[in-house]
């Protein structure tokens, strides 16, 4: 994995914690959430405050996510908003954290100037010991406060002020006045400088989870279904049906079609479409060449064509499917009829614009795993797991391609692959305030 880290393809954009005040704030929050502390003087954290270095130190990579269903978080800075979420258990977690930070940016900036903000993505399920229990997760509430309880204290002081001003004999209540003065020492003047966090709740009908071998849950579509990456029989009875296994390609294709979730990558005849298809083909060539001892040191289009000719007999069926599409896009050949039985079928699709787009593209990346670029962009955990099994030559080829093409122009690459469209979060807008402050 060192090659990925060095090229900025793994642990990129993590927030660096390297000053004694920040470490002390982190430890106070960590103690409050887990009862543990770190002895490290320097480490990196993701958007949730999880640190891979601290996970290694504690021997617990899930120290902020102990049961996988109620992720805790520690915020030291609003700059964490651009960090990734490492080892996510649910696809919606980073989207929710990011929206919470953006919606409360001013308040969080003020609060984190003096203290850490700690909290939890809370739902009604505290342990997903069976697959069926996952389906009780329908909404996530973000609860947060500083380790000193600033928000809770501000709410209490505000209520006291309201009580004081509403009562004709307020000036004679020495106990109330003393309590307000005591709280104001910590909160400041909440009437002039109110600091509030929007305690946001999100509906989560559709999600991916890493639990139970990997599940894609679609409940808000016209024809609900669960797509299982692991053993379907081991899941038992689920409240959503059908449950479709990874090998049931025809059923997955039907699910996509019934809910109008996908569209062809090849929207028109153009060199740009041909380039996208060729790059998918190049990753397939690299996979075969790395296994058969081919030279992947040179990656020009001409050299990739030479490798394809050299290993023509071993190329997968999906390569030939995409080659037929390239001939249509560039040479005026007839449109090839590609059905779900074809090994290249899912390589020819992308998500249709809409609120399910990110989740569908994530699923498609697992259905078309030889396209390493799409796998990296849409499903990093699956990419890292696959990367660990590849020959070294393929690792170097993929890293080189991602460094030159994707990291150099992330927005342009995404627009080319998935269509230029405004990003639509997987989670809908938050519901109104329903819960009190964390702590």
pLDDT at 162: 66
pLDDT higher for 77 or 169? 77
* Helix 249-258 vs helix 357-367: crossing angle, to nearest 10: 160
Res. 143: pLDDT tops 80: yes
pLDDT score of 208 more than 90: yes
Average pLDDT over residues 239-257: 96
Q: Are the beta carbons of 137 and 125 closer than 8 angstroms?
A: yes
Among the listed ranges 39-53, 83-97, 295-309, which one has the minimum average pLDDT value?
Answer: 295-309
pLDDT at 24 over 80: yes
261 band by pLDDT with thresholds 50, 70 and 90: very high
pLDDT score at 436: 36
The pLDDT value recorded for residue 107 is 87
* Residue 165, pLDDT score: 72
Which tokens is 36 given? 């543990």
Q: How far apart are CA 147 and CA 116, in angstroms?
A: 6
What's the confidence (pLDDT) of residue 141? 93
Give the confidence band of 190 by pLDDT, cuts at 50, 70, 90: very low
Is the separation of the CB atoms in 141 and 201 below 8 Å? Answer: yes
pLDDT of residue 360: 97
* Position 164 pLDDT exceeds 80: no
The three-state (H, E, C) secondary structure of the chain, written as one string: CHHHHHCCCCCCCCEEECCHHHHHHHHHHHHHHHCCCCCCCCEEECCCCCCHHHHHHHCCCCCCCCCCCCCEEEECCHHHHHCCCCCCCECCHHHHHHHHHHHCHHHHHHHCCCCCEEEEEECCCCCCCCHHHHHHCCEEEEEEEECCCHHHHHHHHHHHHHHHHHCCCHHHCHHHHHHHHHHHHHHCCCCCCCCCCCCCEEECCCEEECHHHCEEEECCCCCCEEEECCCCHHHCCCCCCCEEECCCHHHHHHHHHHCCCEEECCCCCCHHHHHHHHHHHHHHHHHHHHHHCCCCCCCCHHHHHHHHHHCHHHCCHHHHHHHHHHHHHHHCCCCCCCCCCCCCHHHHEEECCCCCHHHHHHHHHHHCCCCHHHHHHHCHHHHHHHHCCCCHHHHHHHHHHHHHHHCCCHHHHHHHHHCCCCCCCCCCCCECCCCCCCC
Helix axes 271-292, 392-401, angle to 10 degrees: 160
Residue 381: CB atoms within 10 A of its CB come to 16
Residue 66 pLDDT grade (very low, low, confident, very high; cuts 50, 70, 90): confident
Band (pLDDT 50/70/90 cuts) for residue 168 is confident
- Do 39 and 100 form a contact (C-beta atoms < 8 A)? no
Q: What is the percent of the chain with per-residue pLDDT over 70, rounded to a whole number?
A: 87
The pLDDT value recorded for residue 270 is: 87
Q: What is the pLDDT of residue 191?
A: 45
Model pLDDT, residue 439: 31
Q: How confident is the model at residue 169 (pLDDT cuts 50, 70, 90)?
A: low
If pLDDT is split at 50, 70 and 90, which confidence band does 294 have? confident
Answer whether 110's CB lies under 8 Å from 195's CB.
yes
> Does pLDDT of 325 surpass 60?
yes
pLDDT (mean) for 150-172: 67
pLDDT band per the 50, 70, 90 thresholds, residue 274: very high
CB contact set of 19 (below 8 Å; sequence gap of 6+): none
**Which residue reads 């259905």 in tokens?**
367
Mean pLDDT of all residues in 383-407: 94
Q: Report pTM.
A: 0.85
């Amino acid at each position: 994995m060192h090659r990925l880290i060095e090229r900025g393809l793994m642990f990129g954009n993590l927030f660096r914690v390297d000053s004694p005040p920040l470490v002390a704030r982190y430890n106070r929050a960590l103690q409050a959430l887990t009862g543990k502390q770190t002895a490290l003087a320097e480490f990196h954290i993701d958007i949730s405050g999880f640190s891979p270095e601290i996970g290694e130190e504690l021997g617990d990579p899930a120290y902020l996510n102990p049961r996988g269903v109620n992720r805790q978080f520690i915020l030291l800075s609003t700059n964490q908003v651009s960090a990734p979420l490492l080892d996510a258990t649910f696809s919606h977690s980073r989207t929710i954290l990011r929206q919470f930070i953006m919606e409360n940016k001013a308040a969080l900036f003020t609060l984190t100037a003096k203290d850490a903000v700690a909290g939890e993505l809370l739902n009604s399920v505290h342990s997903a010991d069976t697959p069926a229990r996952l389906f009780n997760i329908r909404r996530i509430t973000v609860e947060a406060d500083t380790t000193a309880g600033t928000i809770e204290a501000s709410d209490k002081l505000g209520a006291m002020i309201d009580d004081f001003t509403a009562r004709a004999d307020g000036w004679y209540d020495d106990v109330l006045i003393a309590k307000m003065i005591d709280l104001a020492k910590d909160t400041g003047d909440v009437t002039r400088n109110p600091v509030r966090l929007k305690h946001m709740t999100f509906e989560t009908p559709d999600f991916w989870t890493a639990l139970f071998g990997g599940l894609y849950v679609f409940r808000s579509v016209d024809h609900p279904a669960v797509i299982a990456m692991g053993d379907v029989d081991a899941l038992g009875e689920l409240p959503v049906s059908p449950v479709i296994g990874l090998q049931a390609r025809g059923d997955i294709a039907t699910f996509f079609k019934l809910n109008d979730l996908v569209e062809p990558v090849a929207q028109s005849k153009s060199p740009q479409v041909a380039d996208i298809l060729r790059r998918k083909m190049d990753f397939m060539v690299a996979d075969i060449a790395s296994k058969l001892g081919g030279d992947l040191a040179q990656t020009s289009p001409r050299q990739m064509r030479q490798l394809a000719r050299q290993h023509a007999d071993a190329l997968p069926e999906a390569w030939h499917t995409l080659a037929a599409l390239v001939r249509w896009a560039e040479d005026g050949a007839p449109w090839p009829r590609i059905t779900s039985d074809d090994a290249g079928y899912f390589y020819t699709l992308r998500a249709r614009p809409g609120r399910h787009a990110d989740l569908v593209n994530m699923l498609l990346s697992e259905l078309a795993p030889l396209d390493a670029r799409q796998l990296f962009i849409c499903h990093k955990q699956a990419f890292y797991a696959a990367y660990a099994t590849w020959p070294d030559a393929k690792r170097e080829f993929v890293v080189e391609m991602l460094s030159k093409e994707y990291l150099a122009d992330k927005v342009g690459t995404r627009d080319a692959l998935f269509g230029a469209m405004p990003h639509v979060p997987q989670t809908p807008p938050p519901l109104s305030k329903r819960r009190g402050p964390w702590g």
